[in-house]
Amino acid sequence: MKFRLSFITIISLIAITLVGLVIFFSPNLFGFSNHKIRFPQIDTIGHFTSFFLLTWFVHSLLKVELGRTILTLLVYGGLTEFGQHFLAYRQADFIDYLADVCGILFFAFVKLLYTLLKKKVSKAYLLKQANAKQKQANEA
């Protein structure tokens, strides 16, 4: 359980950072109108952030395996963009789909990196424990 809690903590910090960046780069979010700051890619950042968080939610909290999560969300993102093509008040944008894909793959990268670092730290800890036991056995 300790592993899952620490991973959730790391993902939560990343999520808070991403949401903070979205808020920072969206001056009209709270009614502030600063014409000096122009950031038209806020929609793309929103897609990236929402699919990163959605991937985290489906994989970590619903405990769906990562490969199935990635495949399902890639199809879901594609279908939502395709469906927008048929709505009069929305438009499909391939860049938004790419942002969805990047958010999904960024979560997979963070998860893989975390897993590799955890294994490396665990291996170093076990090696240190084995060396300490061997040293005690040699002294006895």
Tell me the per-residue pLDDT of 49-108, one tens digit each, with 9 for 90 and over: 999 999 998 998 888 999 999 999 999 999 999 998 888 888 888 999 999 999 999 999
Cα separation values, 138 from 95, 111, 127, 131, Å: 63, 40, 16, 10
Residue 1: the pLDDT is: 42
- The C-alpha R_g of the chain, in whole angstroms, comes to 21
How many alpha carbons lie under 13 Å from residue 97 in its C-beta half-sphere?
16
Shortest CA distance to 24 belongs to which of 14, 12, 32?
32
Residue 2: the pLDDT is: 47
The structure tokens listed for 5 are 């809690």
Return the number of other C-beta atoms located less than 10 Å from residue 126's C-beta: 10
The reported pTM is: 0.68
CA torsion through residues 14, 62, 102, 20, sign:
negative
The domain tally of the chain equals: 1
Lowest average pLDDT, out of 38-42, 95-99, 126-130, goes to: 38-42
> Residue 71 is part of which domain span?
2-139
* Spatial contact of 64 and 58, defined as CB atoms under 8 Å apart: yes
pLDDT at 44 over 80: yes
Q: Which residue has the higher pLDDT, 15 or 94?
A: 94
The structure tokens listed for 126 are 């076990």
Average of per-residue pLDDT values in the chain: 82
Helix %, strand %, coil % of the chain (to 5): 75, 0, 25
